[in-house]
Amino acid sequence: MEIETEICVIGGGPAGSAAALRLAQLGRRVCLIERQTFPRQHVGESLPPSIWPILNLLGVDETVSQAGFLRASGSLLHWAGAFERRGVAGDHPGLLVDRGQFDAVLLRAAQAAGAQVVQPARAYRPVRQQSGWEIPVRTDTGAFRIQAQILLDAAGRQAGLGRRFLPASQPLLALYAYWHVPPGFGPQARVEAGQGHWYWGALLPGGVVNAMVFVDPDACIGLPPADRRDLYLNLLARSTLLAPCLEQRRIGPVRRADATSQAETTPPTRDLLRVGEASFAVDALSSQGVQLAMGQAVQAAAVVNTLLTTPEHSDLALSFYADRQFERVQTHAALAADFYARQHAVDPSHFWAERAKPLDWVKSPAFDPNREALRDDQPLILSPQAKLIASGVQTASHIEPGLVIGHPNLPRPVANLEGAMLGPLLERLGAPTTTLNIIKSWSEVLATHTASRILRWLWYHRIVIPAADQA
């Protein structure tokens, strides 16, 4: 048996299913291979409110809304010596999900959209050929091959497919177990700093709590399972927010999982892209791993669609994809380091000190904002450090050529802001012009309040500067 398709996706987690779903929606022929039967146990159950626009784009927001997942009414933090409650429930709160069920919802949606799903099935080493890829596959009923032009690696952290990972954080190990829910344990994710470790816990559908302790892997080197269990229980007993779990019965063993943030460094090619944790595993502090994976999958679908429909834009699309990947790594490394640094300010121990700043290779450029108020009569000019660059711009279905603005204060070139393309706006700037005149000119194509906000954003980032500075 042989399956011929345009795209083969290996892995049916959130990244693989979202990519297959979006590609099928764009009319592409796609086959997805998943080695496990769903639903299957998987760590990672907290989804932030910002997941909803991605679910809406994929057309699964109503299905997810009706799947019985818990609405997260904010989060509880015990960090840097203080208690804090963040977020409130709204029309679209965050979600506490059973990942096995959530992943199954996405996979069924991809299949319903037209993606061919082969499950359970194991994909063996793909062979690159002149016309694309040949992927050997084995199921319970036999073996066959898939012929595909493009391969999407969505197989998670597992090794293979020529990956080259670099750590994007200091090593981190998660010890975790499931517990019957203690009395009064509400639907809020709980995050707490300990002494040389930190905690995360959340209530899941079905009256179960996942309680996790994140430690330096050195703390577990050489420990047999019974000693790892005792370490986990002893640390959990020291937690203010999660210790009540110990009053209930534990469900199953104490497990462990690598929680080190890592990034894959091989560049994308015209026949191979990576998505999800096959591309980048984010620090667990962000609780944004699933959202990042699905957002990147939508991006990958636009890139693949470009490779197949407008191959003359292939280099542009691949550069776009690689640049967004590195910016994603930089941004989240900085966010995690800032959060660790807050705890380091009250606890100078080695665990916090070595995590309080990003690794050198993922450090973001220094940011020097303009904090002065922008006057209406202020003559402005485009900064000589600002450059209009021809680059790839993402649309709903493709990566297309467009103008982006680059500047040392920007973590990445920016194409649009508040739905407005910045390139055409900045091309209107010539001789020194006052704030009011610029807003008036831009108001020919934008709402005045939008033009005003965009100009103030450019001022804050020093993309427009006082004309006197160039006199």
CB 246 within 8 A of CB 237: yes
DSSP-assigned states of every residue in 128-168? EETTEEEEEEEETTEEEEEEEEEEEE--TT---TT--EEES
Domain boundaries, the chain: 2-68+93-153+284-337, 379-470
Which pTM does this prediction carry?
Answer: 0.91
Residue 462, SS3?
A: coil
Q: At what angle do helices 314-344 and 289-309 cross, to 10 degrees?
A: 170
| Predicted local confidence at residue 90, as pLDDT | 55
- The model's confidence at residue 293, banded by pLDDT at 50, 70 and 90, is very high
Residue 383, SS3?
A: coil
Evaluate whether the domain defined by 379-470 bears CATH number 3.90.930.
yes
Q: If you search the block for the tokens 């932030």, which residue do you land on?
A: 48
Tell me the per-residue pLDDT of 318-367, one tens digit each, with 9 for 90 and over. 999 999 999 999 999 999 999 999 999 999 999 999 999 999 999 988 88
Fold for the domain defined by 2-68+93-153+284-337: FAD/NAD(P)-binding domain (3.50.50)
| Predicted local confidence at residue 463, as pLDDT | 94
pLDDT at 60 over 90: yes
CB 302 within 8 A of CB 324: no
Q: Which of 201, 204, 287, 284 is nearest to 245 (CA)?
A: 201
| Predicted local confidence at residue 5, as pLDDT | 97
Q: What is the mean pLDDT of residues 400-428?
A: 89
Tell me the per-residue pLDDT of 29-56, one tens digit each, with 9 for 90 and over. 999 999 998 877 777 678 888 899 999 9
| Predicted local confidence at residue 44, as pLDDT | 63
Q: Which of 282, 292, 275 is nearest to 51 (CA)?
A: 292
**Residue partners of 108: CB distance under 8 A and separation at least 6:** none
Rounded to whole angstroms, the Cα distance separating 193 from 82 reads 10
Mean pLDDT of the chain: 92
Q: If you search the block for the tokens 């930089």, which residue do you land on?
A: 330
Q: At what angle do helices 435-442 and 448-460 cross, to 10 degrees?
A: 130
Rounded to whole angstroms, the Cα distance separating 185 from 387 reads 52
For the chain, the maximum distance between any two Cα atoms, rounded to a whole number of angstroms, is 77
Q: What is the mean pLDDT of residues 163-187?
A: 94
